[in-house]
């Protein structure tokens, strides 16, 4: 063999060996992107930014979406889970509101709390004022437990819903929580105690003065009653209210129609569901629905008012909704129905939509249900965009998506890309081609990506071995550091997303109560 042929053979063998070695070293974790995709996507983002312009027109409509307890870590984890449910790695996925052009951070402290609860945080967004712990749409000079109706009236703060009603617009409220719960109630109720949802929840006497409270003349009304007996403007304006909390509107003499062992919570003998129908009859055809069939039968084209209460307390988690005995609509379906009722008003509307059970699942230390409800919350936002676009109302509508507060929910470890967000942490191997293995703690035990700083997931006898535990199961409770019966809220900023008229005013670091002022600037 001549020298040139020998060299060629040697080079071919070397290249083959190099190619074989390279094939063997293919990374076990790989994203779907080509090298050029990162640069191309970055340039597309810049071009989109260049095309943005301030929309200074007056908003005909405003929609305020509040994911209760939807902190930034919740958004991130839900984004990944939704992507993984589509058989993708997940991290590159975007929730519907991730595409909104304007974002900011909201400072969620209240007048007297560093880490706040839902009553003053929603009061801030609804009225423009920071308020006290546990109070709904009254100013911070209100005494805790104030039971005198005249005093409460003198302290009340008008909400954006009440302002919209005075402008002659239609209004609506949709929630997966009880309609009398803090977040939706802040839009129509004024009270010193968020827990006074039915008259049976009112104290017998005022803790400050000792005066009679429950059932007494001159005492503040419970929240359910306030929703029925709102001002004449709000009564005419409030076209659709959908969510849970049925027994708070029912007398104690009645059994719940879906769960006969449950009874109404009202001591005054009133059936407020029927009062809703009769008190709205002079304005238009009014209906009450407590199950999916009745909800589906309500046709917005032929009806004006709809009260839907689909559970005795909060509605089902999205993960469990299919098992509901009487059936109940999803948050997306409720939002769609509300929009089709409100869009009939030529003067426009204000709509509030709450993903209320995100918060409840976090309190239970149950990330799976919290994230599933967050995904459904995103679905409701996408349906809103679709309905408004089809109706030609999208560009006349300010849409704001935010949260009232966060939770002690963490995404930690060094999980590889595409690792199941509900699963055990598996890091990128130190050597290309090596298999994925569980990351281990100092005691040699695996751990999950998701956890809580406190809550019911704390194990008093030390960390369990999760090697053979299905941490992706819907009932699994993520581990927590501090043992508590219920996980708490967290105090860091939450995100605000906005699009539509005056959306560019949502910017930078904002006090939470400034959200109200953005909405009012858009409406007025």
Contact 255/263 with Cβ under 8 angstroms? yes
- Which segments of the chain have a pLDDT < 70? 1-24
Q: Identify the pLDDT of residue 25.
A: 83
Residue 343, token pair as written in the block: 């869009």
pLDDT computed for residue 9 by the predictor: 47
**Which tokens go with 263?**
């009874």
Helix (H, G, I), strand (E, B), or coil: what is residue 305?
A: strand
Q: 300-359: per-residue pLDDT in tens?
A: 998 899 999 999 999 999 999 999 999 999 999 999 999 999 999 999 999 999 999 999
Contacts 24+ apart (CB under 8 A), 179-182: 179/224, 179/227, 179/241, 179/242, 179/243, 179/244, 179/245, 179/309, 180/223, 180/224, 180/227, 180/245, 180/248, 181/118, 181/245, 181/314, 181/356, 182/117, 182/118, 182/119, 182/122, 182/136
Rg of the chain, C-alpha, whole Å = 27
Active-site pick, 96, 106, 116, 118? 118
- Give Cβ neighbours of residue 469 (< 8 Å, ≥ 6 apart): 476
Burial class (CB in 10 A: 0-12, 13-18, 19+), 314: buried
- Joined tokens for residue 33: 């992107």
User: From start to end of 179-327, where are the E strands?
Assistant: 238-244, 286-289, 305-309
Place of tokens 């070397």: 14
For the question of residue 116 being annotated catalytic, the response is no
Domain boundaries, the chain: 57-408+488-523
CA 54/CA 313 separation, integer angstroms: 42
Asked if the 57-408+488-523 domain carries CATH number 3.40.720.10, the reply is yes
């Amino acid at each position: 063999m001549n020298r040139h042929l020998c060299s060629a053979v040697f080079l071919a063998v070397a290249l083959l060996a190099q190619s074989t070695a390279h094939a063997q070293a293919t990374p076990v974790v790989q994203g779907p992107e080509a090298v050029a995709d990162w640069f191309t996507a970055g340039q597309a983002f810049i071009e989109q930014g260049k095309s943005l312009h301030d929309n200074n027109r007056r908003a005909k409509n405003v929609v305020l979406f509040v994911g209760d307890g939807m902190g930034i870590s919740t958004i991130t984890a839900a984004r990944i889970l939704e992507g993984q449910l589509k058989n993708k790695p997940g991290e590159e996925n975007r929730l519907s509101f991730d595409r909104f052009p304007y974002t900011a951070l909201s400072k969620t402290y209240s007048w007297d709390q560093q880490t706040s609860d839902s009553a003053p945080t929603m009061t801030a967004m609804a009225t423009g004022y920071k308020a006290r712990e546990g109070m709904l749409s009254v100013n911070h000079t209100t005494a805790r437990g104030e039971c005198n109706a005249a005093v409460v009236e003198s302290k009340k703060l008008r909400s954006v819903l009440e302002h919209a009603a005075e402008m002659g617009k239609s209004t609506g409220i949709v929630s997966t929580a009880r309609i009398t719960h803090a977040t939706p109630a802040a839009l129509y109720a004024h009270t010193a105690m968020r827990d006074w949802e039915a008259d049976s929840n009112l104290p017998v006497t005022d803790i400050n003065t000792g005066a009679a409270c429950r059932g007494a003349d001159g005492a503040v009304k419970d929240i359910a009653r306030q929703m029925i007996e709102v001002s004449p403007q709000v009564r005419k304006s409030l076209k659709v209210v959908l969510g849970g909390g049925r027994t708070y509107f029912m007398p104690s003499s009645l059994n719940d129609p879906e769960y006969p062992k449950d009874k109404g919570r009202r001591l005054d003998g009133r059936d407020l569901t029927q009062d809703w129908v009769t008190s709205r009859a002079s304005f238009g055809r009014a209906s009450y629905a407590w199950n999916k069939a009745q909800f589906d039968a309500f046709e917005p084209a032929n009806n004006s008012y709809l009260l839907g209460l689909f559970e005795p307390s909060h509605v089902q988690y999205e993960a469990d909704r299919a098992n509901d005995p009487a059936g109940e609509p999803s948050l997306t379906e409720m939002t769609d129905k509300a929009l089709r009722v409100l869009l009939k008003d030529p003067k426009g509307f204000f709509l509030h939509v709450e993903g209320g059970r995100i918060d409840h699942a976090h309190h239970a230390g149950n990330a799976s249900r919290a994230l599933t409800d967050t995904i459904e919350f995103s679905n409701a936002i996408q349906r809103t965009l679709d309905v408004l676009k089809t109706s030609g109302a999208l560009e006349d509508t300010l849409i704001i998506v935010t949260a009232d507060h966060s939770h002690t929910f963490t995404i930690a470890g060094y999980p590889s890309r595409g690792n199941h967000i509900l699963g055990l942490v598996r890091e990128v191997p130190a050597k290309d081609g090596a298999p994925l293995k569980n990351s281990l703690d100092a005691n040699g035990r695996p751990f999950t990506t998701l956890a809580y700083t406190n809550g019911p997931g704390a194990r008093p006898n030390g960390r369990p071995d999760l090697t053979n535990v299905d941490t992706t199961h819907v009932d699994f409770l993520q581990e927590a550091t501090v043992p508590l019966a219920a996980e708490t809220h967290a105090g860091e900023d939450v995100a605000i997303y906005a699009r539509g008229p005056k959306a560019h005013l949502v910017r930078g670091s904002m006090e939470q109560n400034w959200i109200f002022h953005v909405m009012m600037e858009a409406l007025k």
